Amino acid sequence: MGIGTAVGAILGSSNVAGWSTGLIVSVLSVVLASILWRSRRL
């Protein structure tokens, strides 16, 4: 969650549209969660 927040802050300061920032952060969060979940199951 911390990484997504940091990325969102960086993109937000770069004047990126709010919806695209939220979309990118949500996608990154899902990807990171899936990677962690798979690594735990292995």
DSSP characters over 9-31: HHHHHTT--HHHHHHHHHHHHHH
The domain tally of the chain equals: 1
Domain range enclosing 13 = 2-41
What average pLDDT does the structure give for the chain? 76
The pLDDT value given to residue 1: 57
Both tokens of residue 38? 């798979």
The pLDDT value given to residue 42: 66
Q: Supply the pTM of this predicted model.
A: 0.49
Regarding predicted confidence, which is higher, 30 or 17?
A: 30
Percent of the chain with pLDDT over 70: 67
The pLDDT value given to residue 23: 79
Cβ atoms of residues 9 and 38 within 8 Å: no
Cβ atoms of residues 28 and 15 within 8 Å: no
CA distances from 7 to 20, 33, 34, 39, 41 (A): 12, 16, 18, 23, 27
